Amino acid sequence: MRLDLSPNGCDMLLLEHRGKALFRKHGVPTPAGVVVTDGSSLAQALLSLPPRLVLKAQVATGGRGKSGGVAFADGAEEARRALAALLGSRINGHSVQSVLVEERIAFTRERYAGIVIEDGEIRLLFGRSGGVDVEDITAADPTNFVSITVDPIEGPAFDQLQACFARLDYAPGCRAAYERIGCALFAMSRTYDATMIEINPLVELPEGGLVALDARLVIDDGALDRQPDIAAMQPHPNVTSRAPNTFAGLKFRENSEGGAIGLIGLGGGLNVALMDWIASTGSKVAVLVDIDEAIGAGQALQGFAAALEAFNRNPSIRSVLINIITCGYRLDEIVASLLLALGPDAGQRAKPVILHLRGNGMASAQQLLTTAGWPNSPSIAAAIEAVVAAAKS
């Protein structure tokens, strides 16, 4: 089942060229480059670029180098052919609509620099070796990475950075440039609400100095409302299709592995635990609806009705579990709405509905259920047993 469990599960990855524009604003050197979308914009770009080029597909996914998203070209003819091959191709499921054409940089060393939020702290990371194989290199040699915990108010301290660079054997002549990179990473992460920034590789030039050959910035979705300029940089529309389908304001999360049970639950943590439990019986939840948002918006009746209607129309769903255990809302108010949505035919539905309802205002909620003739399962175990049996019959 594919679900975004963490609140940051769908944070926004900026396209490389957007990231590099922010890098330049903060003094991080990048190769000269132009974004092109067709042959004529390429022809225009070639006027300002040297003949030795790199063409990089602008898609919001990692591992482009290993999935055919990066091509080298010498001269205009090769560049045209590389562009034609990249445009419209698919990289890790993302369709390529634009390509960053850059000067090719001659370098002496590939390093890694990044900043992440980990264990509640901001951490700067530097790598002795960088490049596409940095994960394997670090797995073989953990000393390849040095991580610095940064004071979130003061930023990285000079001594911390120098000690880190010494451990990684960065040449003393380069350390001031690395220090500027570290400070820029910290400033950018705070300025743009970035939860992760990576420069991989960060290369050393033969004549001295550093250049960021790649840029990965991940922006906290929870902060996009106060980052209007960044929010406007959404990647191409076709790559933002991760959003679950919505119906009457509800999120319907469909299990890509199929299933025969529809689940209406309240709260992400419990919903996942219920799906685990049902999976352990050999059955599967086909569609999950979290009713929280509908209740919070005062639309409990509409939410329940829309979910039940969708479940009725879904031929793979054979039984329905409504499991609500609430503290923050009044259960009796929720039950009043639910009974209206369920209608008068208790127990007569084409697709059996199993209820397990507990919480704040339990006594009056139970009274409503008893009056309406709806049984309330005595435990989660009993409810799951009933809904699994109903799905099989």
Partner 1 sequence: MAILALPETRILVHGIGNPLARFQCEEMLRHGTRLTGIVAVDPGDTEHWHPPNIPVFQSAWDAMASVKADLSMIFSPPYAVKSEVSEAVAAGIPIIVCLTEHVPLHDAVLIRHLAKRAGVTLIGPNSSGVLSPGRAKAGFFVEDICLPGNVGVITKSGSLAYAALAEMKSAGIGISTVVAIGGDVVKGTGFREHLALFHADLETQAVVLLGEIGGCDEEQAAAFIRDAATKKPVVAFISGRSVPLGHSMGHAGAIAERGRGDYHSKSRALAAAGVHVAENIGEIPRLLKLLPR
For partner 1, the binding residue among 48, 108, 240, 379 (CB under 8 A) is 379
* Cβ closest to partner 1, residue 9 vs residue 343: 9
Among 116, 97, 69, CA closest to 217: 116
Give me the least distance between CB of 367 and partner 1, in Å please.
Answer: 14
Q: How far apart are CA 1 and CA 308, in angstroms?
A: 21
Q: How many residues does the chain have?
A: 393
Sequence-distant (6+) residues with CB within 8 A of 262 are 285, 286, 287, 289, 307, 311, 314, 317, 319, 320, 321, 351
Site for partner 1 in 110-149 (CB under 8 A): 112, 114, 116-122, 125, 134-135, 138-139, 145
Per-residue exposure over 67-97, b if at least 16 CB sit within 10 Å of its own CB, e if not: bebbbebeeeebbeebbeebbeeebeebebb
Site for partner 1 in 10-29 (CB under 8 A): 11, 13
282: contact with partner 1 by CB under 8 A: no
Give me the least distance between CB of 140 and partner 1, in Å please.
Answer: 12
* Cβ closest to partner 1, residue 98 vs residue 144: 144
Give me the least distance between CB of 113 and partner 1, in Å please.
Answer: 10
Site for partner 1 in 187-206 (CB under 8 A): 189-190, 193, 195-196, 198, 200
Q: How many residues bind partner 1 (CB under 8 A)?
A: 71
Exposed/middle/buried for residue 238 (C-beta within 10 Å: 0-12, 13-18, 19+): exposed
Site for partner 1 in 350-369 (CB under 8 A): 358-362
The pair of three-digit structure tokens given for residue 42, joined into one six-digit string: 């390429």
Q: Per-residue string for binding with partner 1, 56-95, x by CB under 8 A?
A: ------x---------------------------------
Q: Per-residue string for binding with partner 1, 317-356, x by CB under 8 A?
A: --------xxxx----------------------------
DSSP 360-374: TTHHHHHHHHHHHT-
Q: How far apart are CA 71 and CA 316, in angstroms?
A: 45
Q: How far apart are CA 33 and CA 30, in angstroms?
A: 8
Q: Please count the other Cβ atoms lying within 10 Å of the Cβ belonging to residue 21.
A: 15
Give me the least distance between CB of 201 and partner 1, in Å please.
Answer: 11
* Cβ closest to partner 1, residue 51 vs residue 296: 296
